[in-house]
Structure 1
């Protein structure tokens, strides 16, 4: 009996040592003069010797860096099976990942696309070019992922969005966006310049691998369909997935596994 118990404990210990590990870091932002909390999920295969691809995973409005690890515990399993590092930064509860023209304290475009990427490349064994970097997120984070990837194609090679606010213009009174951009009535140019759908002109065919999805019952469904149609018009290859679902964690917990698989395929082929 004691021998059986020893074997069980030994197997359990081996399983634990093979599980993904989670770091909580404080990455400093020079432009915002503060440390920003981030969750870093490392696959069990991470040994500090081999360069590993990284996916930056953004939370939604009113969220924080722990949303994904709390609401979708399987995210650790996905990091393991796809052999990727997943980084979840705190994007403030309503930054929309802009460098906000109306609030000089909000510089999350610079933080995520430059300062955080530089931090990860300096402190972890990462693939230090766009062929090893992806970015995705939900809702506000879906907007942020496309916003950052479209504008910084030299940094990110693959981008995704889940139920993303890919066109903010229809929502001038929602989610405190006017604090960052000014009111739509007085500063329409800020809203036009910072809507994902208006950044499609920055893309060329196959310059960025793109995947996004939205549920048919989601309030962002129509703007996602509009983005899909605009990408088609411009001849930009992309994967757009529609299925039943609303703006919920049940939907996103399903989406993220497909998006990470898509990104793993990109990482496996981009450097060949």
Structure 2
């Protein structure tokens, strides 16, 4: 209880700090992607001053796009300025799931993120280009994407945050265009296993530790898969932060989640 009280006080202080800060600048970056075979946009939110700073990649959910976070949670401008971090809001497609589809060669999102977008950000902007100063977070489909990318590329990411994440795709064989990406589950069960975060937790490497965070609302349809992921993390003895709060699968919940994440990141990037 004592720890929880201290965390809450820090959160309130952090929110007040963000509210006093001036909004950061926003660029729209268009990157010609070989992996996706098209031009892909991303928003880049930079604090004033131009000094090298840590980077947070913030992923949207299914049916969304790269503008969602700024449109629905404009306070991210103040977070970027107050904490002196760069926030990148990429486009993951309406149903791209941030993975390399074994069925569609125009849906290679893991390759796009790891081999194209991330190096482009480090090349075009003054970042602190080391894994310890780089984090990735997302909601729903983006929560799955954040953990998927971090577990498969721990050399690139120091922290990964899932908000209401669909951390196991296997219970949803007919949803969100997943059969189009992975093939029918009955015909390609290994595709579903290999591309579900729940089937990849064994990839966690203690030698390249990623700070893992997952939270989910008590009224969220992804609550069960988050609880199961927590149990598997316990079984594998992987350290993590888990929050389960009142709320559903909506922006009210995610905006509050991001407040907690920003407090965590402020400490994480300092350490």
TM-score, structure 2 as length reference: 0.90
Q: Show the counterpart of 1:163.
A: 164
Task: Give the superposition deviation at 1:17.
Answer: 10
CA–CA distance in 1 between the matches of 2:21 and 2:193? 49
Q: Show the counterpart of 1:237.
A: 239
Match of 1:34 among 32, 38, 46: 38
Between 1:31-40 and 1:122-131, the stretch displaced more is: 31-40
Task: Give the superposition deviation at 1:257.
Answer: 1.5
Task: Give the superposition deviation at 1:31.
Answer: 2.0
The answer on whether the counterparts of 2:173 and 2:184 sit within 8 Å (CA) in structure 1 is yes
Alignment deviations for residues 148-174 of structure 1 (CA, whole Å, 9 cap, x no partner): 000000000110000000001000001
Q: Does 1:43 align with 2:47?
A: yes
The answer on whether the counterparts of 1:204 and 1:236 sit within 8 Å (CA) in structure 2 is no
Q: Show the counterpart of 1:266.
A: 268
Deviating 4+ runs (over 4 angstroms): none
Alpha carbons of structure 1 residues 234 and 17: separation in structure 2 relative to 1, 3 Å: closer
User: Where does structure 1 lack aligned partners over 5 or more consecutive residues?
Assistant: 1-15
Match of 2:226 among 224, 227, 232: 224
Query: For residues 121-132 of structure 1, what are the structure 2 equivalents within 5 Å?
Result: 121-132=122-133
Max Rg structure: 1
CA–CA distance in 2 between the matches of 1:17 and 1:176? 41
User: Where does structure 2 lack aligned partners over 5 or more consecutive residues?
Assistant: 1-19
CA–CA distance in 1 between the matches of 2:194 and 2:46? 36
Task: Give the superposition deviation at 1:213.
Answer: 0.3
CA–CA distance in 1 between the matches of 2:256 and 2:125? 28
Q: Does 1:117 align with 2:118?
A: yes
What is the Cα-based RMSD across aligned positions, in Å?
1.6
CA–CA distance in 1 between the matches of 2:255 and 2:223? 18
SS in 2 for 1:114: helix
Query: For residues 16-165 of structure 1, what are the structure 2 equivalents within 5 Å?
Result: 18-44=22-48, 47-48=49-50, 50-165=51-166
Q: Show the counterpart of 1:11.
A: none
CA–CA distance in 2 between the matches of 1:237 and 1:32? 34
Match of 1:209 among 196, 208, 211: 211
